[in-house]
Structure 1
Amino acid sequence: MSGHSKWASIKHKKGALDAKRGKLFTKIIKEINVSARMGGGDIETNAGLRTVVLKAKAANMPKDNIDKAIKKGIGGMDGVDYVELQYEAYAPGGVGLLISALTDNKNRTAADVRSILNKGGGSLATTGAVSYQFARKGVIAYDGEDVDFEALFEAALEAGAEDVTNDDGAIEVLTDTADFEAVLTALQDAGFNQISAEITMVSDTNVTLDHEHTGKVLRLIDRLEDNDDVQNVASNLDIPADFEMEE
């Protein structure tokens, strides 16, 4: 399986998608707040906000929630000043992690991330040690039980996607960041309903581990993403097709 596949790993954990949805909404709202504050509330002129709104809609966030988040961002978010941070780290087995965060307290977030890594058998890496293995891409995920892969494959490539993968029913469409919005819109217009859609970091080469260490890495990623300040964790873990996450 593709190392960047968050949806692929979620499929191995029963009920995980629904359980994470509430926290996901909270984190997307924070992204909308920051994007609106920095570039204004008009999605036509604020490309960053437009991308986050697409992510929110793909996650089925209600329009009222999106509108309120934009208004809060324009209004200054009650004096809260968020900064973007990125940590590079290693998980067990030498798996590379890129940890993205939005925080109003850099010291707190740094301490939390370091603590979670240490407890999960990971460690912080020096700047540049991990990031060179990743590229920024658009990733649109689909459940193979709900879509026809061949039809999606053809429609995605026609719309300008770079690649389409199908790993054990976890389908992902990869795009250049410049083509993300056009490809997502074209596939939605063609009747394909995505699980998620976002611009994120995608690994060029992946690390394959045994099942025990794969489980350790996935549990570490889960604990990192459960932190309120951490927005996203990208990894170069290659999940075996026959891997099953222990409950």
Structure 2
Amino acid sequence: MSGHSKWSTIKRKKGALDAKRAKIFTKLLKEISVAAKEGGDDPDGNPRLRLAVQNAKGQNVPKDNIERAINKGSGNDGADYTELTYEGYGPNGVAVFVECTTDNLNRTVASVRSLFSKYGGSLGVNGSVDYMFDRKGIFLIKRTKQMNQDDLTLELIDGGAEEADFDDEYIHVTTAMEDFGSMQTKLDEVKLEAETAELQRIPTNYVSLDDEQFESVMKLIDALEDDDDVQKVYHNLEITDEQLERLS
């Protein structure tokens, strides 16, 4: 399995094992509100909103919650959110990139700095680890028996796919960042809807750790992901199949 596909599998499996569904819903709904405030409440005319709604549906967020988030973002009483990023290192030299959406900058920076310090990491300056990640489009498509793998692979390549990896349940598609929109258009053409579709930061190299070191890094990652202002956390920790099982 390619590195990109393994990254997607880790994110999906960890999400499936995560009992904190309310946290996941909150982050997805916040993205919907921000997208609606930025580009309007019509998903057909607002690609970011369309994607946010699609990802929320993929995580089984109730339709009523999605509609309320759109109304909140497009109304005059929507929260004034700011998007920002933080970079640093976790224990044992693992690079960590954090994406946040917040209505209180002071609270967010204090919280992120505190978590890095508490769990043995160090918060760095902008650019300190950004160069270690590539921005890629990552699409996760539910596989069906009717799909012809060879024909679909050719269609995906035509849409800009760099990789298209098939497993028993899903198709993992990776594109360059600039081909993200082209792949969305191609999926519309072939009448496929991705379960998730997002721009991710994919590590260009990985750090391998023993189980004890792995657990120390994951304490920081889990704490950051649990913060209400944090939307996504990326890192370059190489996770073995055995360590992946420990996430449960």
Is the shorter-chain TM-score for this pair beyond 0.5, marking a shared fold? yes
Partner Cα separation in structure 1 for residue 139 and residue 192 of structure 2: 11
Range 171-180 or range 99-108, more displaced:
171-180
Change (3 A) 1:132 1:112: same
Distance 1:172 1:229 in 2: 28
The one-letter code of the counterpart of 1:73 is G
AA at the equivalent of 1:30 = K
Cα deviation for residue 126 of structure 1 reads: 1.6
User: Match for residue 10 of structure 2?
Assistant: 8
Task: Decide which moves more: 170-179 or 212-221.
Answer: 170-179
Q: Secondary structure at the match of 2:116?
A: helix
Match of 2:115 in 1: 116
- Conservation of the 8 A alpha-carbon contact between 1:7 and 1:170: no
Q: Kindly provide the CA deviation profile for residues 89-113 of structure 1, in whole angstroms up to 9, marking residues without a partner as x.
A: 1011111111011111111111111
Q: Any conservation in 1 of the 2:140–2:197 contact (CA below 8 Å)?
A: yes
Question: What is the root-mean-square deviation of aligned Cα atoms in Å?
Answer: 3.5
Which residue of structure 2 aligns with residue 222 of structure 1? Answer: 222
Which residue of the partner structure matches residue 203 of structure 1?
A: 203
Secondary structure, aligned partner of 2:240: coil
Change (3 A) 1:8 1:141: farther
Q: Is the 8 A contact 2:161 2:175 kept in 1?
A: yes
Q: Report deviation, 1:33.
A: 0.8
Residue 67 of structure 2 corresponds to: 67
Change (3 A) 1:213 1:86: same
8 Å CA contact retained: 2:32, 2:73: yes
AA matched with 2:217: V
Structure 1 letter corresponding to 2:85: Q
Unaligned runs of at least 5 residues, structure 2: none
Task: Give the 5 Å matches for 1:1-247.
Answer: 2=3, 5=7, 7-8=9-10, 11=13, 16-17=17-18, 19-76=19-76, 78=77, 80-141=79-140, 156-157=156-157, 159-164=159-164, 172-180=172-180, 183=183, 196-243=196-243, 244-245=245-246
Question: Once structures 1 and 2 are overlaid, which stretch shifts more, 1-10 or 185-194?
Answer: 185-194
Separation (CA, whole Å) in 1 of partners of 2:218 and 2:166? 20
TM-score, length basis structure 1:
0.80
How far apart are the structure 1 equivalents of 2:214 and 2:171? Answer: 20
The whole-number CA distance in structure 2 between the counterparts of 1:68 and 1:119 is: 36
Q: Tell me the TM-score normalized by structure 2.
A: 0.79
Change in Cα spacing, 1:14 to 1:111, as seen in structure 2 (3 Å) is closer
Deviation per CA, 1:154-191: give whole Å up to 9, x if none: 76446532124579x99742123344455467669979
1:241–1:164 distance in 2 versus 1, CA, 3 Å: farther
Aligned length: 244
In 2, distance between residues paired with 1:154 and 1:213?
42
Q: Cα distance 1:161–1:133, how it changes in 2: closer, same or farther (>3 A)?
A: same
SS at match of 2:3: coil
Percent identity between the two aligned chains: 43
Q: Structure 2 CA distance, aligned partners of 1:171 and 1:207?
A: 26
Q: Distance in 1 between matches of 2:214 and 2:153?
A: 29
Q: For residue 141 of structure 1, report the CA deviation from its aligned partner.
A: 3.8
* TM-aligned CA deviation for residue 53 of structure 1: 2.2
Unpaired stretches in structure 1, ≥5 consecutive residues: none
Q: Which has the higher contact order (CA 8 A, sep 6+)?
A: 1
Deviations 1:42-62 (A, max 9, x none): 223323222322322332323
SS in 1 for 2:99: strand
Secondary structure of 1:162's counterpart equals: strand
Q: Equivalents in 2 of 1:192, 1:216: separation in Å?
A: 40
